[in-house]
Amino acid sequence: MAGTPGGTGTTAERRPGLWGGTVIYCTTGMMHAKSRAGSRRNAGVWGNGPIMILRGNLVLPDRVAAGRITFDGTIRAIAPDEVSGGDGPAEALYILPGFIDAHVHGGDGADTMDGAAAIRRMARFHLVHGTTTILPTTITRPWPDVMDALHAVAEVKQAGMADGPVIHGAHLEGPFVSPHRLGAQPPFAIAPDPHHVRAALQTGVVRVVTLAPELEHADSAIAAFAAAGVRVSIGHTVAGFEQAEQAICRICAAGGTAGGTHLFNAMGGIEGRRPGPATALLCSDAGHAELIFDTHHVHPASFRLAHRLLGDRLLFVTDAMRGAGQGDGISQLGGQEVTIRDGIARLPDGTLAGSVLTLDGALRNAIAAGTDLVDAAKLVSRNAAHYLGLRDRGALLPGLRADFVVMDREFMVREVWVGGERRF
């Protein structure tokens, strides 16, 4: 029989959290703690269908308030402290909604193009940095390699990951990009002809596609992807303002959701006399846009401009490559040598080659740039959920998934919960 914590008819315990102000309760079944030698981060909670409570500084959609969350796999209740006018005690931890990365190639030495085992490895790496929903992302390679990667994502998605984030699906970044605006993409760009579009859709796993709207067959591809519910993201393009604006309109007219792939990068910008797709996205009333906020891809002032204009339609992504988490040294992206130095990944010619960013790092960068915590949390969670149509996650609200990131006062990740299970 369940009861309130400490009440009659329950085996509930109250245990202080491992760091500061997080308190965990279990109101049914059993509550246990487990640990591995030398690592207090591995302590966990499980039981026979427990209702649990986390307590700390809750980062809600409209404010930060000390309080508690009651949950199992779903958030059952949010209870801010009535007496709290803001943060709780200085030692208390922050509880944020789980992060969502809609564009990530790899990490910890693994890449989406390497197959299912590599996808699991890179997903686990990003989990410990707060990512609870992830879209493994392809790169421009020969078409059979791209299809193999999509099938690998589908395999991992179907099997699920008990020790990682939710695999929502794949972001098909290549190969429907301009051969004249590859960035760090290898030179295997192709037009999105109906055969290739149909093959990609038949995998059932594509959730976002990057598309250069000036390519042959782009209009029919937009219609097909939009009809399938795939987000069509303008990127790696030499299109001008008008062509990009028309593409956004076509995507929306087809019932789709328009996006922009890594805003300001691999596209024309906001020059006064020659505006490009970046300007079209910033002027749009409907388009969403990714942004890589490692402060190398985008200057903080440009981020602030984009955030002011797009608001909740701006979402942070990592665009992380396999070298993320491995420090300085030599790595590779799509068969190309990449040098990582001082946290910046570059090809031999100096071109930025993805990033080594994680979403917790992007959150810290946003806060350092003057963004308040509520808006910073939306940039790594709720905004991506809205873009992807994930109505069951992205905020601390009753009825949504119990995906949480627990962070300390320096916004370092201390715990990660996925669907009510602690996975880090």
179-203 burial, b for 16+ CB within 10 Å, e for fewer? Answer: bebbbbbbebbbebeeebbeebbeb
Read off the pTM. Answer: 0.90
pLDDT above 70 (res 82): no
More confident residue, 21 or 319: 319
- 6 domain residue, yes or no: no
Evaluate whether 280 touches 310 at the Cβ level (below 8 Å).
Answer: no
Does 370 reside within a domain? yes
**Are residues 104 and 90 part of one domain?**
no
Q: Is 224 in a helix, a strand, or coil? A: helix
Q: Are residues 40 and 125 located together in one domain of the fold?
A: no
What is the number of residues in the chain?
A: 424
Question: H or E segment at 26?
Answer: strand 23-26
Say whether 319 is catalytic: yes
The answer to whether position 61 is within a domain reads: yes
* 144 within domain boundaries: yes
pLDDT tens readout for residues 372-406: 999 999 999 999 999 999 999 999 999 999 999 99
- Specify whether 91 is located in the same domain as 224: no
Domain match, 57 and 112 both: no
Q: Catalytic: which of 319, 349, 375, 408?
A: 319
For residues 33 and 181, state if they share a domain.
Answer: no
pLDDT of residue 92: 80
Sheet of 206-211: strand order equals: 170-172, 206-211, 231-234, 258-260
d(CA 230, CA 205): 10
Do 318 and 413 share a domain, yes or no? Answer: no
155, 235, 244, 257, 287 from 247: Cα distances, Å: 32, 11, 5, 11, 10
* Averaged pLDDT of the chain: 89
Determine, yes or no, domain membership for 76. yes
Antiparallel, parallel or unpaired: β 131-136 and 110-111: unpaired
How many structural domains compose the chain? Answer: 2
Q: What range defines the domain where residue 42 resides? A: 14-96+408-422
Which residues are CB-neighbours of 62 under 8 A, at least 6 positions away? 374
What value does the mean pLDDT take over residues 282-303? 98
- For residues 291 and 160, membership in a common domain is answered with yes
pLDDT of residue 292: 99
Task: Tell me: do 148 and 287 sit in the same domain.
Answer: yes
Structural domain contains residue 77: yes
Helices (H), 136-185: 143-159
To which H or E segment does residue 302 belong?
A: helix 300-310
pLDDT number for residue 4: 27
Cβ atoms within 10 Å, residue 216: 11
Tell whether 199 and 89 lie within a shared domain: no
Using a CB cutoff of 8 Å and minimum separation of 24, what contacts does 414-417 make?
414/18, 414/19, 414/22, 414/41, 414/93, 415/18, 415/22, 415/41, 416/98, 416/127, 416/128, 416/130, 416/132, 417/54, 417/98, 417/132
Q: Which residues pair with 24 in a beta bridge?
A: 15, 54
Are the C-beta atoms of 218 and 184 separated by less than 8 Å?
no
Q: Using pLDDT thresholds of 50, 70 and 90, give the confidence band for residue 50.
A: confident
- Looking at the fold, whether 212 and 71 belong to one and the same domain comes out as no
The tens digit of pLDDT for each residue in 238-280 reads: 999 999 999 999 999 999 999 999 999 999 999 899 999 999 9
CATH code, 318: 3.20.20.140
- How far lies 208's CA from each of 135, 204, 256, in Å? 9, 12, 11
Token pair 């099997």 in the structure block, residue? 159
Other beta carbons less than 10 A from residue 138's beta carbon = 28
- Within this chain, do residues 330 and 260 fall inside the same structural domain, yes or no? yes
For residue 402, being part of any structural domain is answered with no
Do 85 and 136 lie in a common domain? no
* DSSP track, 228-273: TTPEEEE-S----HHHHHHHHHHHHHTT--EEESSTTSSS--B-SS
Nearest CA-CA partner of 127 in 411, 403, 410, 408: 403
Residue 403 in any domain: the answer is: no
141 — alpha (psi -120 to 50), left (phi > 0) or beta? Answer: beta
